[in-house]
Amino acid sequence: MGELIMSAPVAGLTSKNKITAEDVTMLRREVFADGVVSRGEAEALFALDQTARDKCAEWAPFFVEAVTDYIVHEEKPEGYISQENADWLVRIVSRDGVVDSRTEFELVVHVLEEAKSSPGQLSAYALEQVAHAVIDGKGPLVQGGSLVPGHIAKAEVDLLRRILYAYGGDGNIAISKAEAEVLFRINDRTAAADNDPSWNDLFVKAIANYVMCSAGYEPPTREAALRHETFLDEAGPTLGGFFSRMAAGGFAAILEAYRSPGGIEAEWEARNRAAEALSRRAETIDAGEAKWLAEHVGNGNRPLRDNERALLTLIKHASPEIHPTLKPLLDKVA
């Protein structure tokens, strides 16, 4: 930490190891009435969060709000998370790469949601915390809940979706390679489990978003691409029937299903017109993306998983010029 700026009231709370609702009210009105305006003040709040064993329900919302306001709005440039500030945040909330508490995890996600832009590594770090919990049973997300290591329930899918929705990651457009790597690792390590069907939906949409962007397609925003009611929801747990119907309509039908199957919102009309123009251009997956996919899908000549088969089906029909590296894999799907 840097130089702590700890006022007498904050120091007093640290010494008593307890934070009450009255204490939070005092902090709001007397100590941080003008917000958290320096890193030293922010680090004093972290010290208080980490030392107080007995904390009221009002503490977590105050802590998340105050520190988010500092890092997003007080640090320059306002609204943008610099690499230095992202590194500081990860460093101060981490213990051996795992976030220290559920409150601090919520802080990281809230910062992503509030910032206009932030380094892609910050979103990947948040996804990593879910991976630690789901794969290894590590971290605060496991404590006091029903999470079962090795299995993805709807609650974990919703949490992953929330992180991917977060506004700041990569300009809120395409899924990044770092994020896609985390999702593939979760998929690999939970493949034998009876995961919630919503995981297949999220996995295919997110990886398709990354690959299609890498191939030159201008993707919809994360929110449009990943929202619950689009793209794969007709498919049910098996995914197969939807892709069979979608493929019959050709590339344009695939893009339309990917973009907005239930009608186009007015706010996206201009973007969708641009996407329609792009859909008339043959998109390709270059050698780098082909190698990446080949290393992650069907690795070791194992049978394809349902969600991998769905992903490959989408790629096969959306990319008329298939890189030779992918041909053996794509030959396995209709």
d(CA 107, CA 6): 21
What was the pLDDT predicted at 166? 83
d(CA 55, CA 43): 18
What was the pLDDT predicted at 135? 92
Q: What percent of the chain has pLDDT over 70?
A: 71
Whether the per-residue pLDDT at 69 is higher than 70: the answer is yes
Whether the per-residue pLDDT at 37 is higher than 50: the answer is yes
Q: What is the pLDDT of residues 252-287, one digit of tens each?
A: 444 454 444 444 344 345 445 444 444 434 355 677
Residue extents of the structural domains in the chain: 208-334
Q: What is the pLDDT of residues 208-235, one digit of tens each?
A: 878 766 655 555 667 766 764 444 444 3
Q: What percent of the chain has pLDDT over 90?
A: 31
Mean predicted confidence (pLDDT) in 117-144:
89
Q: HEC profile for the chain?
A: CCCCCCCHHHHHHHHHCEECHHHHHHHHHHHCCCCCCCHHHHHHHHHHHHHCCEECCCHHHHHHHHHHHHHHHHCCCCCECCHHHHHHHHHHHEECCEECCHHHHHHHHHHHHHCCEECHHHHHHHHHHHHHHHHHCCCCCCCCCCCCCCCCCHHHHHHHHHHHHCCCEHHHCCCCHHHHHHHHHHHHHCCCCCCCHHHHHHHHHHHHHHHHHHCCCCCCCHHHHHCCCCCCHHHCCCCHHHHHHHHHCHHHHHHHHHHCCCCCCHHHHHHHHHHHHHHCCCCECCHHHHHHHHHHCCHHHCCCCHHHHHHHHHHHHHCCECCHHHHHHHCCCC
Q: How confident is the model at residue 67 (pLDDT cuts 50, 70, 90)?
A: very high
Mean predicted confidence (pLDDT) in 16-45:
86
Q: Average model confidence (pLDDT) for the chain? A: 77
